[in-house]
Amino acid sequence: WFVDNVAIPAIGYADSFEGDAGGWQSEGWVLTDNTLPQRWLVQVLTFDGDKLQAVERVPVAEDGTASIAIDDLGGRRSAIVAVSALVPATTEAAAYTYSVEASR
């Protein structure tokens, strides 16, 4: 839910919050224009059989794109790509797409 257009007539205070916080401090609230910036945490977990070999954090560009090559998969070696949305104060699902290409 949200708070907007607050008025306290007894002290002559009114604000629409369209510009700034109107002198209020946000404690436990996010002041937003209805859009929160989406950031991502992408990690690659590589396994040899059932044994976790490595966890690698993948750099994600400002535009939300990332690319990584995972070599030597197959046989006992496998990988899991974990994608986590990092936006404070929301429980809304974040959408993303990914693609996998075989190396040549």
53 in a domain, yes or no?
Answer: yes
pLDDT digits (tens, 9 = 90+) for 49-81: 999 999 999 999 999 999 999 988 999 999 999
**Residue 88 clears pLDDT 90, i.e. is over it:** no
Closest of 49, 96, 55, 51 to residue 74, by C-alpha: 49
Specify if 6 maps to a domain: no
Instruction: Assess if residue 21 is contained within a domain.
Output: no
Cβ contact 46:77 at 8 Å: yes
Q: Looking at residue 28, what is its pLDDT?
A: 72
Cβ-proximal residues to 29 (8 Å cutoff; 6+ apart), any chain: 3
The secondary structure of residue 53, as a DSSP letter, is E
What was the pLDDT predicted at 21? 66
Mean pLDDT of 37-58: 96
Instruction: Look at residue 27 in the predicted model and tell me its pLDDT.
Output: 75
**How many domains does the chain divide into?**
1
Domain ranges, residue 84: 32-104
> Cβ neighbours of residue 8 under 8 Å, at least 6 residues apart?
14
